[in-house]
């Protein structure tokens, strides 16, 4: 691994054994990307990779007889107005009304390790030898401003992280109208764009589309979150790339607010990828001495298909993004009371549910919404973080101790960023909500967004919730967020600073997370946003797991968890066994399938076990015992391979394989049953072809070598699928190394 600077040609080569990234300082002092892809050997000059030609309608940015044109150059961080007519990464409004800038190379620094981007979350190094960083300083003399582009190359991963920072030194103020985190360009357009899109209860469906000339993009402009509609992730793959073969580039933004992820193909087939904070509503003024730091983008290159890309993201985010005591730790098996009781509960009812959970082997009981203020429905009480003593006469402190005396840990649901107008908090501070004076304030789920761009609001919420936590025995907090921002305006900001409001809101969220996680480091935080509307890498920096979706139907979860796995590790996916008929779809799926789906995540239950039959309770106990045995493999140590896509057929399948390839757990799911159907072969991946495995599925046990299991496959017994329920049936396979 290394970062080499060839001084004569002013070329930087970032490389490790899997990937190379080459940058050149051009004759006009700006930066050009010469290559990004599979690792290539270093050489003194890569100048031959620069191509320039005079074309009709070309604007040339150097004196004659030069032919350098920004329109046909693969720029590192493009701006608008000097001959490049594609979308820029940066736009700066100056006091004379101009947006023309010229950032040219001044200096660079290469060092071991990686700097923090605090207060922004970012990937980090556990020791300085894991990675090395290049910082390139560019300067615009007219506005007297520095632009610092940072690149971190990891030694063991085909990963490069990118971010940009503006440092203003000029006397006159400037305004950032657009400050994206990164740009990278490819010479051709022979790609398919992969993104994760959907809506509430069907988040992160896999979408693929062939690139064509023009702009293709996904975005989130919801203020409080990236949103359930589109995830801050995209990948570019070659048309022949599969899960196991071919070339793919992944781009993942470590940010929780408004974002833009865009590809633009020029009419000369060049492809530009841009990613960062969405410029809509963004207007950031810098005075002399002030700076602005963009969020980080994590770029992953794979020449072994989408599975390899995902495995890199999974390892990196487990080891170098998640933090604290729960980093790389198996998660406790929990039971959440929400779908069991909703708002209608008493302490006696809660304790009866917890007692039954303990009997099944569950380790953590979580009390969901309805424990505070006048919260008997979702019309009132939100924001009043004191206990409803009519429901819980001994408070959260008393209840948590009673649950712990049963031998369970105790967890609590909160929604700290929101308020009902029917609440003591709103009546005391009506100006604390996001909204424009004298304009109608749109509502969602009967609630409004607290203005977390204001420090006094964050301080108030912190004091209220930390008091509850200090007085109680809380091991887990589920942090929910149930609406997007509308009428984005802060009564605490001046008119000229309203363009800072939505980014400052997200910084306020990060501030509250930081305070709580630092004061209570032993607590496991799970983020939630009406399910998965805020499933992004930045949240994993604070809360190492996220409620994947409010849709708990096992069949629908196949699509949701499959898509989520493109960028996020299994240990980050909140996944529970819920009651049937399912509360979202009214669908009935077998109890075995509900567990077989939930195993590939954090695993827990979302129901009242008291309502199950003795036979079902016996199954639950077996499920809990299975997860305790295999959760370290599934959640922490194993490599995850997607095998069959629910978006392309009736079956879904995947497998988790241990690093030494001696152990694996695979699952096969069918959606609808078929009559008089053809044969099925289940082909595995990731095994050692020369290892003999003992394969167990229900009561069936046999032996086969890895090559047979991967190339010939496992004959799937359709009669066994029928016994498991037919429609929505599933099979679970456990593989252990056997002696020949």
| Residue in 84, 140, 480, 553 annotated catalytic | 480
Are 108 and 135 spatial neighbours (Cβ–Cβ below 8 Å)?
yes
User: What's the CA gap between 134 and 148, in Å, rounded?
Assistant: 10
N-terminal to C-terminal alpha carbon distance within the chain = 40
CB 585 within 8 A of CB 578: no
Cα 726 to Cα 740: distance, rounded to the nearest angstrom = 35
For 46-130, list the strands marked E by DSSP.
Answer: 90-94, 104-112
* Alpha-carbon span 251 to 47, nearest angstrom: 27
Q: 524 has which bridge partners? A: 476
What is the longest distance spanned by two Cα atoms in the chain? 87
DSSP string, 534-596: T-SHHHHHH-SEEE--S---HHHHHHHHHHHTTTS-GGGEE-EEE-SS-TTT-----HHHHHH
Give the phi and the psi of residue 304 in degrees, each rounded to 5.
-130, 40
Q: Mark whether 303 is an active-site residue.
A: no
CA–CA distance, 344 with 375 (Å, rounded to integer): 10
Token look-up 């190359």 returns: 153
The β-bridge relationship of strands 259-265 and 214-220 is: antiparallel
Contact 272, 263 (CB under 8 A): yes
Task: Label residue 473 exposed, middle or buried (CB < 10 Å: 0-12, 13-18, 19+).
Answer: middle
Residue 550 annotated among the catalytic residues of the structure: yes
> Do residues 78 and 88 make contact, with C-beta atoms less than 8 angstroms apart?
yes
Nearest to 296 by CA among 275, 278, 270, 314: 275
The whole-angstrom separation of Cα 165 and Cα 177 is 14
User: 26-59 in b/e burial notation, b at 16+ Cβ within 10 A?
Assistant: bebebbbbbbbeebeeeeeebeeebebeeeeebe
Query: How many other β-carbons are positioned within 10 Å of the β-carbon of residue 550?
Result: 20
Which of 303, 550, 551, 553 does the annotation list as catalytic? 550
Q: How far apart, in whole angstroms, are the C-alpha atoms of residue 414 and residue 527? A: 10
Neighbouring residues of 712: CB distance < 8 A, sequence distance ≥ 6: 681, 683
Helix or strand holding residue 26 (H, E): none
Q: Please list the active-site residues.
A: 480, 550
């Amino acid at each position: 691994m290394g970062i080499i600077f060839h001084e004569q040609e002013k070329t930087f080569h970032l490389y490790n054994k899997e990937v190379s990234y080459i940058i050149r300082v051009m004759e006009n002092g700006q930066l050009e990307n010469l290559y990004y892809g599979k690792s290539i050997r270093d050489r003194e000059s890569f100048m031959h990779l620069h191509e320039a030609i005079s074309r009709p309608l070309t604007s040339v940015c150097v004196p004659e007889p030069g032919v350098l044109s920004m329109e046909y150059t693969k720029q590192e961080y493009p701006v608008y107005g000097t001959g490049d007519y594609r979308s820029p990464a940066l736009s700066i409004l100056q006091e004379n009304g101009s947006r023309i800038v010229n950032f040219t190379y001044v200096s660079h620094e290469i060092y071991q390790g990686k700097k923090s981007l605090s207060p922004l979350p970012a990937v980090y190094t556990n020791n300085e030898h894991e990675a090395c960083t290049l910082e390139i300083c560019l300067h615009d003399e007219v506005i007297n401003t520095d632009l610092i582009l940072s690149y971190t190359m990891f030694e063991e991963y085909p990963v490069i992280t990118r971010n940009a920072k503006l440092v203003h030194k000029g006397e006159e103020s400037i305004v950032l109208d657009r400050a994206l985190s990164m740009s990278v360009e490819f010479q051709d357009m022979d790609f398919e764009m992969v993104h994760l899109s959907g809506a509430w209860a069907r988040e992160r469906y896999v979408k693929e589309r062939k690139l064509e000339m023009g702009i293709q993009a996904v975005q989130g402009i919801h203020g409080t979150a990236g949103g359930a509609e589109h995830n801050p992730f995209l990948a570019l793959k070659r048309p022949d790339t599969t899960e196991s073969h071919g070339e793919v580039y992944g781009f993942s933004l470590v940010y929780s607010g408004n974002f833009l992820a865009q590809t633009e193909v020029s009419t000369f087939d060049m492809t530009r990828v841009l990613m960062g904070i969405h410029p809509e509503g963004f207007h950031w003024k810098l005075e002399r001495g002030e700076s602005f730091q963009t969020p980080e983008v994590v770029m992953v290159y794979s020449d072994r298909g989408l599975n390899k890309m995902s495995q890199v993201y999974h390892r990196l985010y487990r080891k170098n993004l998640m933090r604290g005591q729960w980093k790389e730790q198996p998660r406790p098996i929990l039971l959440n009371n929400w779908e069991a009781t909703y708002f209608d509960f008493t302490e006696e009812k809660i304790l009866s549910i917890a007692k039954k959970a303990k009997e099944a082997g569950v380790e953590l009981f979580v009390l969901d919404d309805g424990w505070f203020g006048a919260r008997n429905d979702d019309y009132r009480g939100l924001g009043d973080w004191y206990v409803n003593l009519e429901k819980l006469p001994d408070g959260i402190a008393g209840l948590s101790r009673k649950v712990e005396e049963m031998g369970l840990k105790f967890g609590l649901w909160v929604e700290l960023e929101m308020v009902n107008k029917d609440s003591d908090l709103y009546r005391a501070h009506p100006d604390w909500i996001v909204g424009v004076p004298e304009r109608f304030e749109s509502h969602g789920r009967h609630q409004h967004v607290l203005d977390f761009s204001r420090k006094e609001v964050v301080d108030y919420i912190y004091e209220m919730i930390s008091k509850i936590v200090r007085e109680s025995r809380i091991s887990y907090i589920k942090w929910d967020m149930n609406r997007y921002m509308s009428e984005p305006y802060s009564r605490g900001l001046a008119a000229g600073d309203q363009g800072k409001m939505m980014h400052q809101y997200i910084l306020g969220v990060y501030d509250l997370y930081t305070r709580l996680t630092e004061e209570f480091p032993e607590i496991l935080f799970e983020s939630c946003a009406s399910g998965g509307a805020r499933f992004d890498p930045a949240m994993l920096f604070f809360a190492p797991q996220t409620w994947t979706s409010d849709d708990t139907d096992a069949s629908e979860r196949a699509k949701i968890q499959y898509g989520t796995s493109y960028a996020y590790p299994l240990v980050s996916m909140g996944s529970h066994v819920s009651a049937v008929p399912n509360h979202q779809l009214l669908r009935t799926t077998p109890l075995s399938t509900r567990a077989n789906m939930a195993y590939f995540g954090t695993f827990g239950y979302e129901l009242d076990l008291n309502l199950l039959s003795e036979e079902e309770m016996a199954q639950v106990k077996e499920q809990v015992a299975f997860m305790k045995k295999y959760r370290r493999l599934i959640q922490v140590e194993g490599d995850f391979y997607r095998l069959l896509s629910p978006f392309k057929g009736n079956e879904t399948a995947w497998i988790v394989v241990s690093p030494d390839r001696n152990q694996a757990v695979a699952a096969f799911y069918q959606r609808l049953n078929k009559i008089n159907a053809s044969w099925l072969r289940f082909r595995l991946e990731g095994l050692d072809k020369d290892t003999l495995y003992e394969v167990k599925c229900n009561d069936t046990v046999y032996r086969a070598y890895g090559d047979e299991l991967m190339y010939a496959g496992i004959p799937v017994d359709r009669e066994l699928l029928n016994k498991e329920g037919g429609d929505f049936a599933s099979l679970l396979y456990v593989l252990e190394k056997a002696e020949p």
